[in-house]
Amino acid sequence: MQGAAAAAERRSRASPDKADESSKKARLDLPDGHMKQEAAGGGDGGSIIGAAYIQRVELAVRIDKQVLHCPLCTLPFKPPVFQCKAGHPACSGCVALLPFRQCKACVDGGGFFDPCPTLDALVSSTRIGCPNVGCQWYVTYHEVTEHQKVCPYAPCRCT
């Protein structure tokens, strides 16, 4: 019996990816603000053991406005957001205009832009309250201008 346990431990040490496959959980974001998390079973092809509905928790934070704006065109980031190897961000419109998608901020000129899913997630999840008095909507930061154009609480510009 000890020999079987030792062999299983050697297998899990030899291939940690295989050992962790059974503990991975699939997550599905639902439109009502909840998440569905499913626990997959062991080596039988991932049978579902159980599912739990988790309430999404939001935080109220303060963030420097410049973090949400492209340093090249100064407009709010919209996904997809790109980042060079040195960490300089840029919006997709600016990256498309750069020759060979190279970063101008990098001294050696070798910084190529690649998609940055982390910045995409940050930009997509940042919401602010509509600035119009009476409006209770929270809008994705980069969509505030479009919302203000159609907001029923927008101030009247009558002459």
Q: Report pLDDT digits (tens) over 36-93.
A: 555 555 555 555 555 666 777 888 888 898 999 999 999 999 999 999 988 899 999 9
Distance between CA atoms of residues 159 and 156, nearest Å: 9
Residue 65: exposure state from Cβ atoms within 10 A (0-12, 13-18, ≥19): exposed
Residue that is written with structure tokens 């974001």 in the block: 29
Instruction: Give the closest residue to 68 by CA, choosing from 83, 89, 86.
Output: 89
Full-prediction pTM beyond 0.75? no
Express each pLDDT in 107-134 by its tens digit. 776 688 999 999 999 999 999 999 889 9
Domain boundaries, the chain: 25-57, 66-123
66-123 has CATH 3.30.40 classification: yes
